[in-house]
Every structure is written in structure tokens, then in C-alpha cells.
Amino acid sequence: MKLKQLVKLVLINIYHNKVRTLLTTLGVIVGTATIFLVVAIGAGGEAQVNEQYSKLNVGTILISPAQRGKVKDPLTKKDAELIQESDNVTMAFPLLSGSGQIKYAGYANTGPYNGIMPGFQEMNHLVTRSGRLLDDDDDTNHNRCAVVGYEFASVYTDGDPDGIVGNSIEINTRRFEVVGLLERTGDTGSRTSIDDGVFIPISSAERFLLGSRANPIIYALAKDLKSVQPAIADITNALNQSHRLGGADQFRITDAGSRLVSAQETARTMSLLLLSIAIVVLIVSGIGIMNVMFVTVKERTREIGTLKAIGAKRSEILSQFLAEAVVISLVGGILGSVIGFVTIPLLKFFELPALPTVNGVLLGLLFSIVTGVFFGFYPAWKAAELNPIEALRYE
């Protein structure tokens, strides 16, 4: 039997059992659509994680006290200078955090502020929407100036954030001129919130707000991702030398790269879990295909006997029924992929990240075809093995 004849015969049989074929393909449609969406959600989640962490250099290392509250042996600027001496570190600087009453144009609230060095802005890829960033002169001259985050400015200006630049805010009755408004960054995965933040020179924070005994945390930047672990070892050694009271054990050293890898692994684990569920759906649908194919073989037993009586080979009977199972599953796979594409905008409407990929389509179609071949083979083989005389006598 030629391929053209085989396809024509399969299509005729499917056409005469349209409703049953449609019901049989439902499981394959659901399974394929699920696989497509799982791959899309996994790709979307991974892209979202990468986007978030692209705003925070993956070589960033944060050194902070291991316990909250009053610290007996705090970090100092000297620690940052020692860390800076490491060959594996490109920059290291302290950051001071405080909280107080912040006023602007009659609006007052209690919130956090941060004393930073200009390197903090470079490390976090901060860009101004208007105005300028803090520079070395601001820190050297103890300038009472500030750069504010987009959400902070939106709240304090009642939805007109650009108007805050050039005006002054009060932090615990001290006036600071707002010299820059930052672009909105979203969640950067950093400990310090950028969008809600108020950033002033660290020297000004010490002199006017927090005093020289304030407890800083230290940000360090490794040369590259491979240098992160050697840099952490150097930082540990430096803290052990400079802190007699427990050494580095009293501090927590974390790096953004590890959090990125952990977040990516979590996203992949969730994708594998959902993919497993989709495969179970396909297996169930495959059992449905097998059941329908057995019924088809029973119904067409006399037809099989006739075909064998006029000279049809076993391989031709096997091919015909196997092709029918594969076509059913392939049609289900194509419909499932189309439904998956149509569903993507709905997922985005519910703010669920999803990124359609060619791999998702290919994986869905591959599983649908494998399902048809695997579960359609045994009924097809049973049909091919029928005795022609017994088949012709079948009622």
C-alpha cells in the first residue's frame, strides 16, 4: 500500500468517526497545551529572574551583622578599605541606613534613608530620570543633598515625581536638596529598596543624622562571577584579622550570584514539576487512544479479514492502524499548541510571566507523537495478527 493510499484511508476512517476522534484527542490537546504552557512559563520565569538580577551586579557581595539589634563589634570603614585591597575585589564601600521623619511640601512620614558612597549607584546601575547622581565632591564636602527613588517621589509629590528635583526635603529637621530623581528599577533583589529610597552622601549621614558610631553594612564587588568565592574567602580573612570578637563568624556574607543561581534552580524545579504533571495527562490520554483503537479493531474485524483475503500484508494492516493513532495524537498536538499560544495573553493578563518558545512547540508535538506510537502500536499489532478466516467469520 502506497503512502498516499494509506493517508487517504486513515483520513476516511477518522472522518467517519469524527465525534469519537475529537473526544479521543481531547486528552492529547490538554496534555500538549500544558507542556507548551509549562515551557513558556518556565522560560518567562527564568527571563524575569535574569531581568531582576541584571539590575544588580551578580558579583555583588553584601557583608552585614549576623544578628539584628545592637552590635558589639560593628563593621567600620577600615573593614571596607581592607576588603578593597583584595585582588578579587574591584570596589568596596560602607552603607549607613537610618530611619526618621521625612517631610516634603507639608507631607510628612517616617521612613528609611541611606548614606551611600557614589560607588553604590554604579554597582546597582542607577540612572537618573532627572537631575544628577551623587558624586565624590558631595561626599568630600559633606553636601546636604539627596537622590530619591521614583516611588518615594511619587508618594511625597502626590503623583508628580519630577517636581521634587531642585526642592528640599527634611530628614529629622535637617534640610537636604534633592539633586536627582532615579528611574524606576522595580525589585532588584537587593537588600536596599531603590524605588522607595532616599540616598544622601555617607559623610553627610554621619555628620548630620547618624553620628560616627552608626553601624554600617559593606557592599563589595567581585572582579567577575568566578572571583566571587575567592573574594568571599579574602573578605573572611580580612574580617578575622580586624575583628577580635568572633572574627568573621559574627557577620553574614551573601552574594547576588548565589541568589541568582538559587532563583533559577527554583524556577527550573517548578517547571519540571509542572512538566511531570503534563506527561501524566498525556499518558492518561494515551490510554484513551489505546482503548479507542481496540474498539476500532473490533468494529473493523471483518474489514481486516477482507483486506487480508485479497492480499494485504501484516505490515500494511499494522501501518494503517498505527498511522491512524499517530494522526489522532498529532492533530491533538497541533490543536494543543494553538490553544497554548492563545492562552499566553491570558496568563500575562494575570501577571504570570510566560514566553512562548519553539522548544515548547516541538516538545509538545514530540510527546503527542510518541504517545500515539506507543499506545497505538499494540492495538495495531493485534489487528495485523488477526487470522483472515476467523476475521471474516466475526459477527
pLDDT per position in the chain (395 positions), as tens?
Answer: 566 777 777 777 777 777 777 777 887 888 888 888 888 887 887 777 666 666 666 788 889 888 776 667 888 888 999 999 999 999 999 999 889 999 998 888 898 999 999 988 988 888 999 999 999 999 999 999 999 999 999 988 887 888 899 999 999 989 999 999 999 886 555 566 788 899 999 999 999 998 877 788 999 988 887 888 899 999 999 988 888 767 788 888 888 767 667 767 777 777 777 778 777 777 877 787 788 778 878 888 888 888 878 877 888 888 888 888 888 888 888 998 899 888 888 887 777 778 888 888 888 888 888 888 888 888 888 888 888 777 777 66
Phi and psi at 13, nearest 5°, equal: -65, -40
Q: Where are the domains of the chain?
A: 3-53+262-393, 67-249
pLDDT attached to residue 372: 83
Residue 234's SS3 state is helix
Return d(Cα 117, Cα 109) in angstroms, integer. 25
Give the pLDDT score at 166. Answer: 92
Predicted local distance difference test score (pLDDT) of residue 190: 59
pLDDT of 394: 66
And the C-alpha cell for 90?
Answer: 574591584
* Beta carbons within 8 Å of 300's beta carbon, 6+ residues apart: 383
DSSP H or E segment with residue 292: helix 256-299
- Strands (E) across 9-134 are located at 60-65, 89-104, 107-116, 128-131
Sorted by sequence, the CB contacts under 8 Å of residue 70 that are 6+ apart come out as none
Coil, helix or strand at residue 116: strand
Residue 3: per-residue pLDDT:
65
Confirm if 137 and 203 have CB atoms less than 8 A apart.
no
Cα 320 to Cα 326: distance, rounded to the nearest angstrom: 10
Residue 218 and residue 192 in contact, taking contact as beta carbons nearer than 8 Å: no
User: Residue 233 carries which side chain, given as an amino acid letter?
Assistant: A
Backbone angles phi, psi at 113, to 5 degrees: -140, 165
Residues 6+ apart with CB under 8 A from 378: 290
Computed on alpha carbons and rounded to an integer, the radius of gyration of the chain in Å comes to 33
Amino acid (1-letter code) at residue 205: A
Model pTM above 0.95 = no
